[in-house]
Amino acid sequence: MSGVIDLDQVRARAAEIERENLRKAMERMKERQGDEDALYHDFMHDDLQPTWREKLNRSILNAVEHEKNEIQVMRFPSSWCSDKGRAINNFESNWPSTLTGKAARGWELYQKELEPLGYKLKAQILNFPGGLPGDVGIFLAW
């Protein structure tokens, strides 16, 4: 009959498991960081999709069917604004000047094509992780 497992073996196995879990967590963190870096690059450099009008029209009609008068057209971290979301959070009229990347291009497109049709665009901070501005939501209203 064998005896009870030695505590040194228990501790060694626990340390091995902890190292493996830490290694996996680090791999996941690197993957997430890579995903975030790719998203940021796309946000800053990619143009709006050529099919944006069809998608927008479908979204507007769907919202109207559900008795809504606005849709969220964009969401991104407030850290991607030039002022980290301060102007949006404080409802300052110059908030569009703090937009960068795809959001800035979206604002230009709104001014050129949607504002003349009577649409309104507004922005708000959607969450406050750790008490700081989190994500920005851009909404198209009618």
In this predicted structure, what is the pLDDT of residue 34? 64
The runs of H, that is alpha helices, within 46-131 are 52-65, 86-89, 101-109
Whether residue 101 has pLDDT greater than 90: yes
Q: Output the pLDDT for position 134.
A: 97
Using pLDDT thresholds of 50, 70 and 90, give the confidence band for residue 68: very high
pLDDT band at 56 (very low <50, low <70, confident <90, very high): very high
| pTM of the model as a whole | 0.70
Give the pairing type, strands 135-141 and 120-125. Answer: antiparallel
**Three-class secondary structure of residue 128 per DSSP:** coil
Largest CA distance in the chain: 87
pLDDT digits (tens, 9 = 90+) for 8-48: 999 999 999 999 988 888 887 777 766 666 666 676 777 77
**pLDDT-derived band at 67, boundaries 50, 70, 90:** very high
